[in-house]
Amino acid sequence: MTTTSTAGRGAGRPGPAIAPARSVVERLRPLLMVLASLAIFFVLWQFLSTFVLNPYLIPPPTAVAAAFVPMAETGEIFKHVSISLVRVVIGFVLGSALAIVLGVVMGRMRVVYELLDPIIEFMRYLSPTAMIPIAVIWFGIGENSKYFLIFWGTFFFVLINTIAGVMRTPIARQRAAECLGASEFQIFILVVIPSAVPYIVTGMRVAMASSFMSIIPAEMLAADSGLGYLLQTAGMLVQTDRIFVALATISLLGFITDRLFRLLVDRTLRRYMAFVSAG
CATH number of 206's domain:
1.10.3720.10
- Indicate whether 46 and 68 sit together in one domain: no
The pLDDT value given to residue 115: 93
- Indicate whether 225 and 108 sit together in one domain: yes
Dihedral of CA 33/34/35/39: which sign? positive
Phi-psi region of 16 (alpha: psi -120 to 50; beta: other; left: phi over 0): alpha
Q: Flag whether pLDDT at 63 surpasses 80.
A: yes
Q: Among 27-36, 158-167, 224-233, where is mean pLDDT lowest? A: 27-36
Residue 19: pLDDT band (50, 70, 90) is low
- Indicate whether 23 and 155 sit together in one domain: no
- Indicate whether 153 and 109 sit together in one domain: yes
How many residues can be counted in the chain? 279
- Indicate whether 43 and 76 sit together in one domain: no
Average pLDDT, the chain: 83
- Indicate whether 3 and 102 sit together in one domain: no
- d(C-alpha 28, C-alpha 13), whole Å: 25
- d(C-alpha 255, C-alpha 220), whole Å: 22
The structural domain count of the chain equals 2
Q: Flag whether pLDDT at 217 surpasses 90.
A: no
- Indicate whether 108 and 231 sit together in one domain: yes
Q: Flag whether pLDDT at 251 surpasses 80.
A: yes
The DSSP-derived string for 156-180 is HHHHHHHHHHHHTS-HHHHHHHHHT
- Indicate whether 163 and 31 sit together in one domain: no
Q: Give Cα 90 to chain centroid, integer Å.
A: 14
- d(C-alpha 105, C-alpha 85), whole Å: 30
The pLDDT value given to residue 168: 86
Confirm if 144 and 94 have CB atoms less than 8 A apart: no
- Indicate whether 44 and 73 sit together in one domain: no
Q: Mean pLDDT throughout 113-131?
A: 90
Q: Among 53-57, 83-87, 97-101, 169-173, where is mean pLDDT lowest? A: 169-173
- d(C-alpha 259, C-alpha 51), whole Å: 33
- Indicate whether 24 and 95 sit together in one domain: no
The pLDDT value given to residue 20: 58
149-204 confidence digits (pLDDT tens): 999 999 999 999 999 999 888 778 777 877 777 777 777 777 888 888 889 998 99
- Indicate whether 96 and 121 sit together in one domain: yes
Confirm if 258 and 205 have CB atoms less than 8 A apart: yes
Residue 21: pLDDT band (50, 70, 90) is low
Confirm if 162 and 107 have CB atoms less than 8 A apart: yes
Domain range for 25 is: 1-53
